Amino acid sequence: MSGGAVHMKSDGPYEIVRVGETYEVRDTRNDQLEYRSRTLDQALSALGVRAKAERKRQTVMVRPCIRCRRDFESEGAHHRMCATCRLNARDIYHGAV
Ligand SMILES: [Zn+2]
């Protein structure tokens, strides 16, 4: 068996490398092994899942909270308060009832 690694495919920061008889999905940013399979199909789907999750993560925006003005990771236009302020806002609401 030869130990040569063959690059097969990459998607975002992830790549598939064939090592001997196995396919490895690696994160190229830290060269970490994410997934290992004996079939290319499984490695391809593992690559797809991770690349998609990574793209989703990159769409998260950092916005200032409307209440305390601290930057936080917003999941969308509807999401304008940081987690701490949302918790406090809920407490105030319950207290007012
Ligand atoms: Zn806040």
CA-to-CA distance for 18 and 9, rounded, in angstroms? Answer: 10
Boundaries of domain holding 14: 5-59
Q: How many domains does the chain have?
A: 2
50 and 18 housed in the same domain: yes
73 and 91 housed in the same domain: yes
Going from the Cα of 77 to the center of ligand 1, the distance in angstroms, rounded, reads 15
Q: Model-level pTM greater than 0.75?
A: no
CA-to-CA distance for 43 and 35, rounded, in angstroms? Answer: 7
Going from the Cα of 86 to the center of ligand 1, the distance in angstroms, rounded, reads 7
10 and 55 housed in the same domain: yes
Which residues place a Cβ less than 5 A from the ion ligand 1? 65, 67-68, 82, 85
CA-to-CA distance for 30 and 13, rounded, in angstroms? Answer: 10
CA-to-CA distance for 43 and 51, rounded, in angstroms? Answer: 12
Sign of CA dihedral 83, 84, 85, 90: positive
Going from the Cα of 54 to the center of ligand 1, the distance in angstroms, rounded, reads 26
> Mean pLDDT across the chain, nearest whole number?
88
* Span 18-33, pLDDT tens digits: 999 999 999 999 999 9
